[in-house]
Chains A and B, each alone.
Chain A
């Protein structure tokens, strides 16, 4: 998938990233590393646009989750597939989810450890639980590509390992911005490192791992 060719990314006249060319092969598990402000979120937003333009099905896990706090965890998960159905089906789901949909969403909530919280409004959940709802929504949606901005930043390390594995199994291709190096290493097959507005590292994760520290040097 050729996604970006010599692109200038950013807001208005001042690009955050200059001259970005990027393609992703099916099966790639890409981790994006770089200091905060290096342009990870900008790159993810551009990749999202590019993937949608190619008609790919994308599951998105934005940094702010973009959940609806007033709706239950279960309904937030069900939101992952609204575009597969018509307005009437979605309306009836909002009022009372069908048994099949409910079972499916509950099974995924169980995988992320939220069975007990399924019917609680998201606004009453903790930060880590909210992130797991967003994760469950992405899993329920499924698709060709998972795009995530710090998708495991708020869950505790013991869970992070398990959840990373779930994501790996569920999506053939994934591009995740991460800050925890251990999780990144165990998750990724390919590493892209950003620094000062440019891609400085791009290669198989094991081959380039010893260059990671340079990304964070002052």
Chain B
């Protein structure tokens, strides 16, 4: 059955109209009590970084790398084991469930069981990453050249077929993807600091609380350098030394011990809905209704509003920024500057940017929207810019803004809309997370429930969050399919290579 094609401008107009409707519902006021001086202090800190707390900075940096490497390695290994079996429903659903919960939410849950220690930090990264790795590695395996495996004939056992004729073909792309995931892991690991892990986020938070802007600036500079030089210090053959170093570093982390039986209590009592625990099954429905009215519905509404505004702003930034790294538009120096700007915005995770904006602008939806839009806009702008650089232009094509308007924008518009739709799901996930910073999205209610030790409520909110993300994912995929952009590749994977 032919699916009716949607027009790209129609979709853009529709999303923009919804965003306009969201605008009156959004709390966008500047609540900080003196934003300009806060911004001034922060910029001064950036320009005059203070490295006197070098010991603290180095320790936080090393632990950030250690948690990232350990978490990504564990998640990658688990994903690699699952990938060949991804076509089985049990494996696929496990992977979907693992990755539908954000690493910060995993950490909040695991804390209840394992305390704020090494296990929580590593698992919070490893669990969702295992789900993502399983999916992407299985795609890479499926796309690898099938001919050598076919040559082997029907007699060869499955393990030999996989190890000799499937895995080697997929290995180069798997390596590239793993490197990208380590970059993501560094971001996750840094952000986990904001909820108590001893990584960069934690150190940044404590410097801000002490008003040490110079030291905070130093942390951010070190962090950008760390991500920018990743490809220099992370080499496949250095993996083993890095793993050993990460393990050694993690033994330095001490955490208050948890009482025995924490896991069992968590599974058998804490997450059981209160009415059931108290032997009153009839109370379950009112309990759920209360929870829906007080937490889930307002949380979903706020999450959708933040995400919608952030998506439109993301689109605007990406639309304008898609030529920032194209020398023919910006000039050589302009393009280099554009690169720098986009790299900085991409390396800071949304959550960390939102934290910074929150220090300046005070608590409202504004910091979250700005952070989401800048980070995601920079990512889309970078991807489009790379494509724009690769466009074949006629020899007498214009330069500068004319090129942007007459060639790049029209030729990449389809990609632009598809990438924005793809990012929509990611923006929803991250909007939910922003609640932990105090903005009333789903994460706020989740964090609240955990703080009150009402883990039964937390688990239901978590389920609602996962369902919301899955729903948006489904919607986005449907829209992309009707735009004829079904085959967008997962982030971190190179362009599709034609099979010779």
Interface residues of A (CB under 8 A from B): 52, 58, 60, 62, 64, 66-71, 75, 79, 82-83, 85-87, 90-91, 94
Q: A62 — which chain B residues lie within 8 A by C-beta?
A: 147, 151
CB B80 to nearest CB in A, in angstroms, measures 16
A90 and B147 alpha carbons, distance in the complex (Å):
19
Does B169 lie within 8 Å of A70, measured CB to CB? Answer: yes
Does B148 lie within 8 Å of A70, measured CB to CB? Answer: no
Does A71 lie within 8 Å of B164, measured CB to CB? Answer: yes
Interface set, chain B 140-183, CB cutoff 8 A to A: 147-148, 150-161, 163-165, 168-169, 171-172
Pick the contact of A79: B158, B164, B171 (CB < 8 A). B164
14 sample A-B contacts, Cβ–Cβ < 8 Å, listed by A number: A58-B153, A66-B147, A70-B172, A71-B164, A79-B151, A79-B152, A79-B165, A83-B152, A87-B157, A90-B159, A90-B164, A91-B160, A94-B163, A94-B164
A83 and B159 alpha carbons, distance in the complex (Å):
12
A64 and B145 alpha carbons, distance in the complex (Å):
11
A83 and B153 alpha carbons, distance in the complex (Å):
8
3 closest A-B pairs by CB: A83-B155, A90-B160, A66-B147
B interface size (C-beta, 8 A) = 22
Other 13 A-B pairs with CB < 8 A, given A68-B164, A79-B152, A83-B155: A52-B153, A60-B153, A66-B147, A66-B150, A66-B151, A69-B169, A70-B171, A70-B172, A83-B153, A83-B156, A87-B160, A91-B163, A94-B163
A82 and B171 alpha carbons, distance in the complex (Å):
21
CB A112 to nearest CB in B, in angstroms, measures 18
A129 and B37 alpha carbons, distance in the complex (Å):
69
A52 and B152 alpha carbons, distance in the complex (Å):
12
Does A86 lie within 8 Å of B172, measured CB to CB? Answer: no
Q: B154 — which chain A residues lie within 8 A by C-beta?
A: 52
Q: B172 — which chain A residues lie within 8 A by C-beta?
A: 70
Q: Which chain B residue has the least Cβ–Cβ distance from A78?
A: B164
Does A60 lie within 8 Å of B151, measured CB to CB? Answer: yes
Q: A66 — which chain B residues lie within 8 A by C-beta?
A: 147-148, 150-151
Contact with A along B36-49 (1 / 0, CB 8 A): 00000000000000
CB A136 to nearest CB in B, in angstroms, measures 14
A58 and B164 alpha carbons, distance in the complex (Å):
19
Q: B168 — which chain A residues lie within 8 A by C-beta?
A: 68-71
Q: B171 — which chain A residues lie within 8 A by C-beta?
A: 70
Q: With A52-B154, A70-B168, A71-B168 in contact, is A87–B159 under 8 Å at CB?
A: yes
Q: B169 — which chain A residues lie within 8 A by C-beta?
A: 68-70
A67 and B150 alpha carbons, distance in the complex (Å):
11
Q: A75 — which chain B residues lie within 8 A by C-beta?
A: 164
Pick the contact of A67: B148, B157, B161, B163 (CB < 8 A). B148
